């Protein structure tokens, strides 16, 4: 089968739209026709090298679509099923899955080669194998993915919108609710209001934070945050610190959540300074693996028992979190339609990422033509 896809051929190169050969699904795999794919910052990290991977690779790890064919042994899915793809596959049996930490499933080890769990590739062109971002490749019209990556959803949910629940929504939400442990009455600071951070704002507000302080230098981000639950906005970390000091009477924030596009030493230092005794800094945004982005006084960490927590998928379990967030959306309490700023065709993926880097989008969305 042929499919059109946005691929990266090397670090630093732009996205290229090309036609690829796609193999049929093998055992435990399904063929998915993607309807929509979110433009998450993590795919741009593939381009810059902040996430090191094998090239060439089909981009996209946030998406939803319809199952068209199943391989042998697939029992949970059938043709016609609607699915949201989790950017983390969940095998259910490795020791981390067995302990209920399915976001840390050992299948994550495949995220360098981005082949499927059996070690082989489904996308090819001119004798070359193409990986698929997070074992998905949602920037392709069609892809073959592991059933471990697919969460079946109700047919009446809008696939265009719920595509965002594959990454940005649960990641941001869980950064506040799971990893940050926001409780009623808390004061929570969120640094960076993109597709992830806006959902940290929603999560913190939903969990009952009294103050949700959204920090972003861009006015459109502050406006979006204010619409979706922020009580205060700040253009920079110093202003945020002043607000924290005032609203907590000098005690400090309960959580400082870092969801900026590229994490820096400065933003981590600001977040660390903003939290109270035994407060928590959650680092969800990424920086390249070679960067020593944490430089902090351990004196303060020890004596104030400050905590620093990394978070993958917001520290939640994809097969639990995705359906629960969709039920909240259905009941009108989680906003998803409001998150999409601009819709793009596959051909415009480079423009979509330029817009993301220029700060125009809360979230950009690719809509596939079929
Ligand atoms: N840990 C995970 O599971 C996980 C999952 C998805 C994405 N991510 C990462 O989360 C990060 C955010 O992704 P996104 O798609 O929301 O990105 P985005 O580009 O849409 O948004 C980032 C926002 O951060 C703002 N920003 C940049 N520097 C800032 C600073 N110093 N202070 C305040 N705001 C600042 C930008 O203006 C922008 O609005 C990326 O690094 C991405 O790779 C992590
Ligand atoms: Zn993502
Ligand atoms: Zn596992």
Single out the residue of 166, 165, 214, 174 nearest to residue 194, CA to CA.
Answer: 214
* Ligand nearest to the backbone CA of 102: 3
> Which 8-state DSSP code applies to residue 262?
B
Instruction: Give the global pTM.
Output: 0.98
Residue 266 is predicted with a pLDDT of 98
Ligand 1 midpoint to CA 229 (Å): 18
Q: Are the beta carbons of 249 and 270 closer than 8 angstroms?
A: no
H/E element, 256: strand 253-258
* Short-list 37, 40, 41, 47, CA closest to 15: 47
Please give the mean pLDDT across all residues of the chain.
Answer: 98
Ligand 2 centroid to Cα of residue 50, in Å, is 13
> How does pLDDT run across 134-189, given as a tens digit for each residue?
999 999 999 999 999 999 999 999 999 999 999 999 999 999 999 999 999 999 99
Residue 267 Cβ contacting ligand 1 at under 6 Å: yes
Residues 46-76 have pLDDT tens digits of: 999 999 999 999 999 999 999 999 999 999 9
The bound ligand whose nearest atom lies closest to the alpha carbon of 165 is 2
Residue 354, SS3? helix
Polymer length in residues for the chain = 370
Nearest CA to ligand 1 atom 35: 192
Q: What's the rounded mean pLDDT across residues 22-35?
A: 98
**What does the pLDDT read at residue 174?**
98
What percent of the chain stands above pLDDT 90? 100
Pocket test for ligand 1, best of 46, 103, 194 (most atoms within 8 A of CB): 194
Give catalytic residue positions.
40, 42, 45, 61, 167
257 lines ligand 1 (CB under 6 A): no
Question: Given this model, what pLDDT does residue 229 score?
Answer: 98
Query: Ligand 1 centroid vs 273 CA: distance in angstroms?
Result: 20
List, for residues 197-249, the tens digit of each pLDDT value.
Answer: 999 999 999 999 999 999 999 999 999 999 999 999 999 999 999 999 999 99
Which atom, in ligand 1's list, is nearest to the CA of 361?
20
Ligand 1 neighbourhood includes 173 CB (under 6 angstroms)? no
Instruction: State which ligand 1 atom lies nearest to the alpha carbon of 312.
Output: 3
């Amino acid at each position: 089968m042929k499919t059109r896809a946005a691929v990266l051929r090397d670090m630093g190169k732009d996205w290229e739209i090309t036609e690829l050969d796609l193999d049929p699904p093998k055992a435990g795999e399904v063929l998915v026709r993607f309807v929509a794919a979110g433009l998450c910052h993590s795919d741009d990290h593939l381009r810059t090298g902040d996430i090191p991977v094998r090239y060439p690779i089909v981009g996209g790890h946030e998406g939803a679509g319809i199952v068209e064919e199943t391989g042998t042994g697939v029992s949970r899915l059938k043709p016609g099923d609607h699915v949201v793809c989790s950017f983390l596959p969940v095998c259910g049996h490795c020791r981390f899955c067995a302990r209920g930490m399915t976001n840390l499933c050992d299948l994550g080890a495949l995220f360098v080669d981005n082949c499927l769990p059996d070690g082989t590739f489904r996308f090819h062109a001119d004798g070359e194998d193409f990986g698929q971002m997070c074992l998905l490749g949602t920037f392709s019209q069609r892809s073959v993915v592991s059933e471990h990556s697919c969460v079946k959803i109700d047919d009446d949910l809008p696939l265009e919108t719920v595509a965002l629940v594959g990454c940005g929504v649960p990641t941001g939400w869980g950064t506040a609710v799971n990893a940050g442990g926001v409780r009623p009455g808390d004061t929570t600071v969120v640094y960076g209001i993109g597709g992830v951070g806006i959902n940290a704002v929603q999560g913190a507000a939903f969990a009952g934070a009294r103050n949700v302080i959204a920090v972003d230098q861009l006015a459109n981000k502050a406006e979006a945050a204010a619409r979706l639950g922020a009580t205060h906005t700040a253009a920079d970390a110093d202003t945020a610190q002043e607000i924290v000091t005032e609203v907590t009477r000098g005690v400090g924030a309960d959580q400082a959540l870092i969801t900026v596009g590229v994490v820096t030493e400065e933003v981590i230092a600001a977040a660390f300074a903003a939290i109270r005794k035994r407060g928590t800094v959650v680092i969800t945004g990424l920086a390249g693996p070679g960067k020593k982005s944490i430089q902090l006084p351990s004196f303060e960490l020890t004596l104030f028992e400050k905590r620093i927590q990394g978070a993958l998928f917001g520290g939640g379990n994809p097969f639990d979190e995705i359906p629960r967030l969709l039920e909240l959306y259905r009941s009108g309490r989680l906003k998803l339609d409001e998150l999409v700023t601009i819709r793009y065709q596959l051909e415009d993926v480079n423009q979509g990422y330029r817009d993301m880097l220029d700060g125009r989008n809360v979230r950009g969305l690719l809509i596939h033509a079929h």
